[in-house]
Chain A
Amino acid sequence: MHTVLPPHRLSKDQLRLLHEPVDRALARSAETLSELSGVRIAFTSAAIDMVGLGDVPTAVGNPGDPAIGIYVGMEGDGFGYVLLLMDESMAVQLAALMLGEEPTSISFDDELPASALAEAGNVACSSFMNEVGDATGLELLAMPPVVVGDMRGAILDVAIADIAQLGDDALLITTELGPESALTGRDGLLQLRLLVIPTPDTLTALLDALGSKARGE
């Protein structure tokens, strides 16, 4: 049975069903990033919504601004993308933390910092998938990470062009991650976002699985 509602709408019950496992999954992603970077990483509560594909790039800032994205494709019982998106300055800080180097020594023309970011994206996105998989009983497999540097809109085009073959809307889960001090406003704005864009069929499967679980089936 299909439980996906018409474009741009999820019922309150569906949103409630999604929020709990998504928040747990984000907590696990933040925890793994903390372990990797050695800095306590926290997250803001997730925003979950169905949006038109045309609105996806503007949902995460100016699509013309430069950014770094780490894509992890989702396969198995579900398909789609999980993307860790950040400003270049945040990417430099994250790579420096992971490599134990000074930010001034980081260049993404070098393979090592790009690999460090790929690993950060891999653990954050894989942790997310594992938690959602545990909550739904679906086996969600993470593909190898891909690091891209470009305009925000161009980075998002990668996922959008794929999802657009299946529909005009996407479930967009966004949150902000960063050092705990930044989260409480002491270090300014956070600049790192996790985006989850499943295919329409995968969203249906997730909601069906969560609905069955809620009914105790």
Chain B
Amino acid sequence: MAVVVSTGPSTLASPAGNPTMVGLGEVRVINGTTLPDETLVAYGLGSCVAICLFDAGSHVAGMAHVVLPGADPSGAPNGKYARSALPAMIARMQSEGAGDPRRYVARLAGGAQILRLGGSGTLPRIGDQNALAVQEALKSNGIALKGADLGGSKGRSVWFNPGEGGQIRVRTVGSAERCL
């Protein structure tokens, strides 16, 4: 069962702006004041989780494409791991003008267990662990979670334009776009 939490309106139109793709394990940050037409995008999230952070004071937005639930073995900030992604995002966002991370808001999407259509094999279950680890990391950094579309059995694509006040758009195969 997918968990969907939203505290905002869901009236956005189709994705807009120049897409800046956020690949596996990457962190990308844009300043909505200087780059109003840029949109952060993560396509085809399966077990991965997109962390989307927004600082309303500076209009700086960041997205991390988290692959694994743990922390980087070297201790370095790194978007690949749930527990290492936030330090990487915060540092990058602050270098773009964002302020105290406790005033950021977060939205999450991903963490699915991809659906089996047939056969008798099994697939690793990493999506649930990723979703849990990311939520714990937000909590320990004092960042408020404003919306989440996590779990379930379908992949997701996510769009995040800082001009939309921190909201994200989420789409799954065969479903209408949702805004969180």
Which stretch, A114-122, A172-180, A198-206, touches the partner chain B? A114-122
Whether B124 lies near A161 (C-beta < 8 A) is yes
Count of interface residues, chain A, beta-carbon cutoff 8 Å:
44
Q: A57-B24, A154-B155 given as contacts; is B44 within 8 A of A145 (CB)?
A: no
Whether A143 lies near B121 (C-beta < 8 A) is yes
Whole-angstrom distance from the CB of B41 to the nearest CB of chain A?
9
Report B135-179 residues with CB < 8 Å from chain A CB.
154-157, 173-174
A144 — which chain B residues lie within 8 A by C-beta? 119-121
Whether B23 lies near A162 (C-beta < 8 A) is no
Determine if A133 is an interface residue (Cβ-Cβ < 8 Å): no
Task: Give B residues with C-beta under 8 Å from A.
Answer: 21, 23-26, 43-48, 65, 67-68, 80, 112, 114-124, 126, 154-157, 173-174
Chain B contact residues: over half helix, strand or loop, or mixed?
loop
What 1/0 mask marks residues of chain A from 144 to 185 whose CB sits below 8 Å from any chain B CB? Answer: 111111111111111011101100100000000000000000
A168 — which chain B residues lie within 8 A by C-beta? 25, 80
Contact of B45 among A70, A148, A154 (CB under 8 A): A154
Residue in A closest to B157 when the chains form the complex, CB atoms: A64
Distance, CA A61 to CA B24, complexed state (A)? 15
Whole-angstrom distance from the CB of A116 to the nearest CB of chain B?
9
B43 — which chain A residues lie within 8 A by C-beta? 57, 62-64, 151, 153
Distance, CA A117 to CA B117, complexed state (A)? 10
B157 — which chain A residues lie within 8 A by C-beta? 64, 151, 153
Whether A153 lies near B46 (C-beta < 8 A) is yes
Whether A150 lies near B115 (C-beta < 8 A) is yes
Whether B46 lies near A71 (C-beta < 8 A) is no
Whether A155 lies near B126 (C-beta < 8 A) is no
Determine if A54 is an interface residue (Cβ-Cβ < 8 Å): yes
Distance, CA A64 to CA B21, complexed state (A)? 11
Whether A146 lies near B121 (C-beta < 8 A) is yes
Whether A147 lies near B116 (C-beta < 8 A) is yes
Residue in B closest to A109 when the chains form the complex, CB atoms: B117
Distance, CA A62 to CA B124, complexed state (A)? 23
B114 — which chain A residues lie within 8 A by C-beta? 148, 150, 154-155, 157-158
A66 — which chain B residues lie within 8 A by C-beta? 173-174
Q: A147-B116, A154-B44, A161-B67 given as contacts; is B24 within 8 A of A56 (CB)?
A: yes
Distance, CA A176 to CA B164, complexed state (A)? 41
